Structure 1
Amino acid sequence: MPHSWRLETVLLLLVLATALSIFARDTLLRETLIIEPGEDYSVRLYDDGRDGGSTEAVMLPDNQSGYQWQCDLRADYQYPYCGFEIRLVQGWDGLDLSSFDKVELWLDYSGGNKSIRIFLRNYDIRYSNPNDETSTKHNQIEFSADRKDQHYEFSFSDFFVANWWLLENDIPPNLSHPQFDNIISFDVQTGSEHKLGVNNFHLKKVKFIGQRIDTADWYLAIISIWSVLILGFLAYRIVVLSKEVRERQMREKELLAINKLLDFRSQELEVLSKTDHLTGAFNRQGIEGAIKSGLSEWRRDGKSLSVVMIDIDYFKAINDNHGHAVGDAVLAGISQLVQERIRSSDLFARWGGEEFVLVCRDTSMNYAAHIAEKLRRLIEECSFADVKGVTASFGVASLQGDADVDDLFKKADEALYRAKRKGRNRVEVSDND
């Protein structure tokens, strides 16, 4: 089998394994705990007799299909109740169910009460007393007992701590939330309606469902494995490519001299075609690439693209009073001044007549306005071709929202003309910016 095919086969298998680990995540990570007859759990019935009541609770014969019991709620206690406890552990070292998120139970009930309570009781030395069973935290759910299919499903987030337990044990607020890190028992109890009479229970099965590994850790493991594989592949490719590069370098050396000569001449011609012969600044064709690159960076990476439109104030008067040769010298002088002061990443071009444009890639509107103000002061402070008092007006705009290049230059142009209307020799930014 060709080497490339072996690599592609391994990659395909890894992709399939990754897809399986993602889409079958719940099955792979699922953890269950099932409680049903035949398991080694101790059980007991209890009732309000410990509180002075006379409710009577009895276990019914076990038919291997579940736990069955009956309790007769009587009126000798204000809040008659009975309950059935499945002790999950011996002693006080309970089960950590904090990674579980769901509990299901199959329960058949008949009686006068409309609701049933279940408890997950948690032992914690901060509030529990080994000599007092009721001191374990009573994480509780109370639900309607009218399901015909006898199947109930609850999220652990539905549990709350019983108010009576919080009050009786004087629990501070920081310990009043549900807790499942040391569960010692599961209880089924009559509901809070307390209707007198016979209640029959048949608990067939209890099922706790959780995850062995947290979902975030599972995805982190997948990412880590792929990272190691990618790094290994890159290292391998570097070794292979370095060998290929050495071989190619020998062949490329023979072409470098010819290409260097051709490239130099080509660059000379390209620069000439993109440069304004009078000012030495780029022409419109020359800044086309910069605008395209800036637009691409803005679309792809969110980097700002700003333009500064520059117009020499009263340039016609300079031509009329001093002649076109002086006017050309002023244009060339201002172009040289600007090009010497701007950054290497900025492109300066003659836009036409006495108008110039400065394209500022990866530059916010505020910083572009700062650059424009600096140039405005420099022009104002200099004299060109013995012409004093030469000034310029500036319009600044940046790409915003879904705007395109036409909108960008239109906004800069509007800002420029606003600068002229306000008296010239000033910087104005686009209203939309």
Structure 2
Amino acid sequence: MSSKVMRKVYALFRMNFLIIVLLVITAVAMFAYRHFLDDIMEINLGEYPYVVASADSVDGGTSAISMTRTDSSVLIEYELREGYAYPYVGIKVYLGDGKTMGRDLSNYDSIFVWLKPRNEGSVRLYMRGYDSALYRKNDETSLKFNEIEFTPTKEPYPAVFVPQEFRVAGWWVSQNEINVHKARVDLSNIPLIEIQTGTNAPLGYGGWEVKGLRFKGKKISQVDLVTTLVALWFVTFLIILIIRFFDYSRERALNKKKQEELKKNLIALEIEKSEYEKSSKEDPLTGCLNRAGFSGVLLREQEKLNRTGSPVSFMIFDIDHFKNVNDTYGHLVGDEVLVNLAKLVQGMIRNTDSLVRWGGEEFVILSEDTSIQNAAFLAEKLRKAIEASTLITQQQVTCSFGVTEMVPGEDPKSLIARADKALYSSKENGRNRVTVATFRRNH
């Protein structure tokens, strides 16, 4: 056998040997990753010292809560009372320094919650995240509200969640005027975990037994493992490329083709991202703006008002007895009411007005270059049109309105609160009416 043939056989043997070794390493690494590299962080609330009870009293509410420790859990007794718009109680679990230096929970892929309720109602789990661009010193509310809301009686015990199920609370984004690019779930620095009563928690007495939380992931992230294996494969194939020097041109052509495909994929991803950002600002049911989309409109109109003094009116309205519609006819009929109402209102307002689905059955209209008197006239016109229309065949539908006007330099929260108060007055005085609230400066 000639030396040339021997060299080819030897080179082929070395190439195959390297590939076999690398395949074995890859298989062992994947097996070890699957079975032996679990990273588990457990918080036994019966033993964990940094747990405190909280209630809506910090927001002016009157709800009460008490917390008792056992060896293996904390026992919560509470009474949800009227007095705050959204009554709540809960517990806070502090990690790290509880402010800016928390725990990185981003590498965990499963979150277990041992919580037994004494009654019905949903529960909110908040992973409060620190972001240096958003945090205000000594202001705990500036920690990002990464949330998930669930009903313990409808979940297994323990309840199990994955990070992808969390979202940033919309009310927090709106309240803090957070840029949409910052309103993303981030679990890389969590100094505080909160468990609170949820949206539909009933008023009155209740209780929980909370044993703890468990975060399960891997000691090495999947990204790091794949990166390492890819690096090993890269080095191996680099050696193979040296052995197969005369095939370099062909390999180069293949790499170029892969790069072109990657570029095409990146362009496709950019297009998909652009479409997603657009859809994230619209309510999928009604086609109206949602709160995320509205925040930019509100900021723009406020800047225009501060600059030019041109009036801007703000009205909030919701469907009277909407819960009865859902309970009586079902959610499909409720959705029909929302869709038809949005179409009716959209057809009666100007293109420059912004119609926003504010929440459940609540809507907002922001009208530029519109005085409060004209806004009140528009609200009354809409009220009559809604009352006279047939949004659904099953029953008549009416709406209550609260109207106000934006004031230069005003905090948006104050504007919204004033409109909400006017809406509440409309409901208190019989519903299906318009109430106007003017700005009163405190002396």
Shorter-chain TM-score range: 0.3 to 0.5
Whose Rg is larger? 1
